[in-house]
């Protein structure tokens, strides 16, 4: 165990989560050990080896599928409020383990400890939401055109839900999906990112304890580990009616094609290229706070991170100067130390992409006003710490059109009306999150109108990141069109059925069709 891990209680956290013996390999399920290759999980915080995890083979996968299929038969028959009680207990376990799980998220992924705690809180929140939802899985009742007939629709459990999650939210996104899927009577198979496998095992241990305490089959929650090849087992499997995948646009296109080829359903949460529009009526102080957190929070590795700041020319220099001043105050270092604002990128490969993006924006004609760079020396031994950067650019730059998972903020200038700013904002392939900073009611309402933001999330006077679980989360265009978390996102985890009941002794046909025998 490294000095940082020891100093910040990581070993105690691993013991509390039941993953303290990971160095000799670990189970990918609840009742058997996998027999595949080894994944080594290194912390971007200090470069230390946290765990060695065995990957799932095809034979292992078939055992998981058999376990999940058997569990679905009984789980779907359990009344939804009873399923809700299990989720309530899971939420209580998360409350008890919030601190150790938050530390593991911070240490294995690299986000700040406060963000790690916040991610676990999201898990707790979605459990609370799901418990309430367990008594509200309602359909509609409508009037039939035929006398003596009643017509309504209802929702039934879908089956096995496959979940593929990304490293940047190694526990919360799984919970968004699985809490709702469980409430709906589904069982889940989860492939966490191969970059954060220990977080997945910790979560599996927590729900496994709940299932065991309630004498429920372990197949309700299954875990598989590995790279894209393991994910392909799910995307190509006809036994899995829904695959929920979070990750890059390129990954999402592969998943969508594979699932569509077998006429399955996919729920896609893909890349973002999020912008904040700053109008002349903006509160500059609020703008700076929202933009800085959006750009550097999680070291710019959120799908909702702020990538572009579209500023009116009349206040451009004022906002730019305020941002430069704010960036000078950022503290970069060990994310477990709550005095720091910015932690590391996930791994050296992410650092390479960060450096290439900075080179690219300059090559295309942009100007760095807050230069980046890789930090070296004491405290930065992992090689994954970088300085957040700001570049003046144009929206049509190729690098600006693409998402770079790193703390790089592009400043874009607009002139004239708000419509011009919205054209710039919407002028990218992605459509996840967006925001406007203004105290002008007309501007705010226009931004939210059908002619305004084309994103799945549109905010006024807050940043692009930090969504609450009560609303549906997702985006349009190449972001994939999926919706997770709150509102009526639960419906994708169920199959819809229309029912018509004839309670007369006659058999009239719809549309007045005559068929006499």
Catalytic positions are 269, 303
Can you say whether the dihedral through the CA atoms of 299, 304, 305, 307 is positive or negative? Answer: positive
Determine the Cα–Cα distance for residues 146 and 511; give it in Å rounded to an integer.
9
State both tokens at 59.
Answer: 């034979």
Assigned token pair, 133: 């939802």
Among 175, 181, 39, smallest CA distance to 101 is for 175
- Cβ atoms of 8 and 336 within 8 Å: the answer is yes
First to last CA, the chain: 83
Q: How far apart are CA 358 and CA 352, in angstroms?
A: 10
Helix or strand run (H / E) with residue 168:
none
* Secondary structure class of 408 (helix, strand, coil): strand
Task: Reduce the DSSP state of residue 183 to 3 states and report it.
Answer: helix
* CB 123 within 8 Å of CB 94: yes
Rounded alpha-carbon distances, angstroms, from residue 189 to 60, 240, 256, 397: 12, 9, 18, 40
DSSP labels, 212-240: HHTT--GGGEEE---SHHHHHHHHT-TT-
Half-sphere exposure of residue 43, counting CA atoms within 13 Å on the CB side?
Answer: 28
Tell me the residue ranges of DSSP E strands in 99-201.
141-143, 149-157, 160-164, 187-191
Helix axis angle, 80-96 relative to 172-183, nearest 10°?
A: 160
Q: How far apart are CA 315 and CA 310, in angstroms?
A: 11
């Amino acid at each position: 165990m490294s000095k940082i891990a020891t100093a910040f209680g990581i070993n105690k956290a691993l013991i509390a989560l039941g993953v303290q013996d990971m160095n000799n390999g670990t189970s990918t399920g609840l009742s058997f050990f996998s027999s595949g290759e080894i994944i080594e999980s290194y912390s971007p915080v200090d470069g230390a080896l946290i765990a060695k995890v065995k990957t799932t083979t095809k034979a292992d996968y078939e055992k998981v599928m058999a376990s999940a299929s058997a569990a679905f038969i009984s789980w779907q028959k359990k009344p939804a409020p009873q399923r809700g009680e299990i989720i309530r207990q899971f939420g209580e376990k998360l409350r008890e383990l919030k601190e150790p799980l938050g530390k593991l998220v911070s240490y294995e992924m690299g986000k700040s400890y406060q963000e790690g705690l916040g991610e676990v809180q999201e898990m707790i929140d979605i459990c609370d939401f799901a418990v309430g939802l367990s008594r509200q899985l309602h359909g509609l009742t409508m009037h039939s055109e035929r006398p003596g007939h009643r017509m309504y629709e209802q929702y039934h459990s879908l089956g096995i839900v496959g979940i593929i999650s990304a490293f940047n939210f190694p526990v919360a996104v799984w919970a968004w999906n699985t809490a709702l899927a469980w409430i709906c009577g589904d069982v889940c198979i989860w492939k966490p990112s191969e970059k954060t496998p220990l977080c997945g095992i910790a979560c599996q241990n927590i729900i496994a304890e709940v299932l065991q305490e309630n004498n429920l089959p372990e197949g309700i929650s299954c875990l598989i580990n590995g790279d894209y090849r393991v994910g392909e087992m799910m995307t190509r499997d006809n036994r899995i009616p829904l695959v929920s995948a979070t990750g890059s646009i390129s990954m999402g296109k592969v998943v969508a094609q594979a699932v569509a080829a077998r006429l399955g359903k996919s729920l896609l949460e893909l890349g973002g290229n999020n912008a904040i529009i700053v109008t002349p009526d903006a509160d500059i102080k609020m703008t700076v706070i929202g933009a800085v957190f959006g750009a550097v929070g999680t070291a710019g590795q959120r799908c909702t991170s702020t990538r572009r700041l579209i500023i009116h020319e009349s206040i451009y220099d004022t906002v730019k100067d305020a941002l430069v001043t704010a960036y000078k105050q950022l503290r970069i270092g060990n994310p477990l130390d709550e005095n720091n604002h910015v932690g590391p990128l996930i791994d050296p490969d992410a650092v390479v992409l960060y450096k290439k993006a900075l080179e690219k924006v300059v090559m295309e004609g942009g100007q760095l006003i807050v230069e980046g760079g890789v930090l070296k020396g004491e405290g930065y031994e992992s090689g994954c710490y970088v300085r957040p950067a700001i570049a003046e650019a144009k929206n049509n730059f190729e690098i600006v059109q693409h998402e770079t998972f790193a703390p790089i903020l592009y400043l874009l200038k607009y002139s004239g009306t708000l419509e011009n700013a919205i054209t710039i904002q919407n002028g990218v392939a992605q459509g996840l999150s967006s925001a406007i900073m203004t105290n002008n009611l007309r501007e705010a309402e226009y931004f939210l109108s059908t002619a305004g933001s084309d994103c799945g999330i549109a905010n006024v006077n807050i940043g692009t990141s930090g969504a609450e679980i009560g609303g549906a989360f997702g985006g349009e265009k190449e972001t994939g069109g999926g919706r997770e978390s709150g509102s009526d996102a639960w419906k994708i985890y169920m199959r819809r059925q229309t029912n018509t009941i004839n309670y007369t002794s006659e058999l009239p046909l719809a549309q007045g069709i005559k068929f006499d025998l």
